[in-house]
Every structure is written in structure tokens, then in C-alpha cells.
Amino acid sequence: MSRLVILVPLLLIMFFMARNGVLDTIYDQITFKKTSWFDNSALVEHLRTVIRDQKLSTLPRKCLVFVINGDSSNNEPIINVLGRHGNGCPGTEASAEDLFKIKVNRLARYIATDAGSPGNFRPLISR
């Protein structure tokens, strides 16, 4: 019985943390390093966390699609962020809409977005 008194609140806390993205944020802080800015896969996962934390989209993480213009050797790529619909994402019809763009400076570890004002980039974060 005493184990249940400890176990049930811990499970509820873990469930709450998982639903609110706290675990994703902690994981991102632990795994995203300076060299990760040059790895497109790691950068995309970091951007998913940043977009959710900054409340730039209400879509779930799995429904955000990133189109990177340029290769990984480009130090200042512009990334199109698309919102996917259907197939497990909000919406009935399978489609993708352009949400906004993100400009990344890999060397300065700087992110800017034009969310809410297309074409006018504003700083999002820098690390």
C-alpha cells in the first residue's frame, strides 16, 4: 500500500510533464550541443521544441514538417515550416500548409522567424 502512495503521484507527475512538453524541453537541453547546429536532423528536433515552447504553432510536434533550403554546408539556411493535416494530425484531409519561415545562423547559433509577419524576420532565440 505504501508503494502505491508513492507510485501513483509520481506517475501523475510524469504524465503531466509528458503532456505539457516538459520532458521534451529537458531532453533538448541535455542533447542539443554546439555541434548540433550543423546537423540538420538535430536542428530540426531542436526547432520542434522551440516552436512549441514559443507557442508559434498549436500543431503537435509530429505534425510540423521542415523543408531546408540549401545543404548542411550552408551556414545560414532558410527553413520553411509546414503544418501537416490528416493521417494522425488535426484535420480531415491530407494536406500541408505553409506556416512560416525560420532563418538559422549556424555559426552565431541564432534563430529568427517571420511568424505573424511574412518576410519580416524577428529574433526568436540565440544560444
Rounded to the nearest 10 degrees, how much is the dihedral formed by the CA atoms of 40, 57, 65, 125? -10
What total number of domains does the chain contain? 2
- Virtual torsion, Cα 58, 95, 27, 126, nearest 10 deg: -70
Check whether 126 has a pLDDT greater than 60. no
Residues 16 and 48 in one domain: no
Is the same domain home to 44 and 27? no
Q: Are 101 and 116 in contact (CB under 8 A)?
A: no
Structural domain containing residue 5: 1-31
Do both 18 and 63 map to the same domain? no
Q: By three-state DSSP, how is residue 109 classified?
A: coil
- In this structure, the answer to whether residues 25 and 66 fall within a common structural domain is no
Same domain, 116 and 58: yes
- Do residues 47 and 27 both lie within one domain? no
Q: Which range scores top for mean pLDDT: 35-39, 47-51, 66-70?
A: 47-51
**Based on the domain organization, do 44 and 18 belong to the same domain?**
no
The pTM of the full predicted model, rounded to 2 decimals, is 0.77
| 48 & 90 share domain | yes
Predicted pLDDT of residue 72: 64
Q: Residue 39: pLDDT band by 50, 70, 90 thresholds?
A: confident
